[in-house]
Amino acid sequence: MGDLFVVGVNFRVAPVEVREKLACSKEETRKILPILKREIPVEEIMLLSTCNRVEVYGYNIVDVSEKVIEKLLEIKKLPQNLKNYFYIKKGDEAVFHIFKVASSLDSMVVGEPQIVAQFKEAYQIAKESETVGKILNRVYEKALRASKRVRTETGISKSAVSVSYAAVELAKKIFGDLKEASVLLIGAGEMGELAANYLRRFGAKLHITNRTYEKALKLAQELGGNALRFEDLQGYLHLMDIVIVSTGAKHYVLTKELVERAIKKRNYEPMFVIDISVPRNVDPKMEEIDSVFLYDIDDLKQVVEENLKGRMQEAKKGEIILWDEVKKFMNWYRSLKVEPLILELKKSVEGLEDSKYLKKVVHRAIEQMKKNPEVADIILKIFKTEEVKKHESGRKELSDVYNRAYGT
């Protein structure tokens, strides 16, 4: 019986200049896995590479964790002294770490959803490369189960921890249901685009404008929105419930006077304005206008920081769930070493009389062997006694011996 292990680096132990050297593309991963499996050698292995971590998960009869690190550095043509950045985890600590990664409790942004897809992809590549088997297949299956439990039994993914999503959460607090809300994205900045995309997913009607109309049209096609001409802004601004400003302009794109005219046309219905631009593109005096809710990037960052604190509290609950799943996995894992003994036990009682009675006792014995692998040999010896094999009367004797072995 071997052991599970994890070797790797992440954002906590290695700077980005080290992680980027170790990072592996999908194509590299497909080439590296068979080499590691063949040349170390190792029974089962998979490799997870993201912007924040490069980790190898493996199973082998003898400890090869150090060899895996050395071989990976050799394949990547990197100096061996980089192995000082690597951590090594074994046994239940390795299983806990894998479950923690898959559940995003080990991510830079705790609760971020991308890691699940990355973990699935890493496993799929290993499966296609034929470098995983019975053990890592089970680890993968249980890691996803653990991840699902963490997300459904804690509030780890309920609070916004990105500036773009924080903007959407604030909009929901002000407007409630965002279905049918009209959203205007001014500019094509990345964070503004993300926020607009989130809002569209909640059913909002998306409109996009940009000084260059062609850019607005292109983005509108990508996001499923409606392109508007920037020079006509004053004519349609009052129709918008939410305005997201994300441009590279060095001046105010939305002035107090422009929004005052729009809010009057709206009969002072609320307007939510989000300025994600740096430098700011919205006149801060706008917050003096009744019914206008203005947030800049610093306001949103405060929301993110508060939400992160909440997620860290939920992460503690998540770790309790993970250890519960680790315990279940390790029970299964330890039971594997008694499988040959169980097969031998079944063989030893083949053809005996009174099989109905024996089936019950054998079933109880197998359960005990799985729960207590350390006494599996003793149970097997009891069943292999000549008295049991030759005599019908051995039935009571077998029962007495078996029950005494467990104090019943």
Euclidean distance between CA atoms 223 and 234, whole angstroms: 23
Query: Does residue 41 have a cis bond before it (omega within 30 degrees)?
Result: yes
Strand partners, 375: none
Phi, psi of 152 (to 5 degrees): -90, -25
User: Residues 321, 323, 325, CA angle at the centre, nearest 5°?
Assistant: 75
* Coil, helix or strand at residue 292: strand
Encoded tokens for 380: 């097997």
Phi-psi label, residue 283: left if phi above 0, alpha if psi -120 to 50, beta otherwise: beta
Euclidean distance between CA atoms 311 and 84, whole angstroms: 31
* End-to-end Cα distance, the chain: 31
User: Residues 147, 149, 154, CA angle at the centre, nearest 5°?
Assistant: 105
- What Cα–Cα distance (Å) separates residue 285 from each residue in 125, 185, 187, 259? 54, 20, 21, 11
Provide, for the chain, the percentages of residues in helix, strand and coil under a 3-state DSSP scheme, each rounded to the nearest 5. 60, 15, 25
Comparing CA positions, the residue from 315, 262, 321, 336 lying closest to residue 292 is 262
Catalytic positions are 51
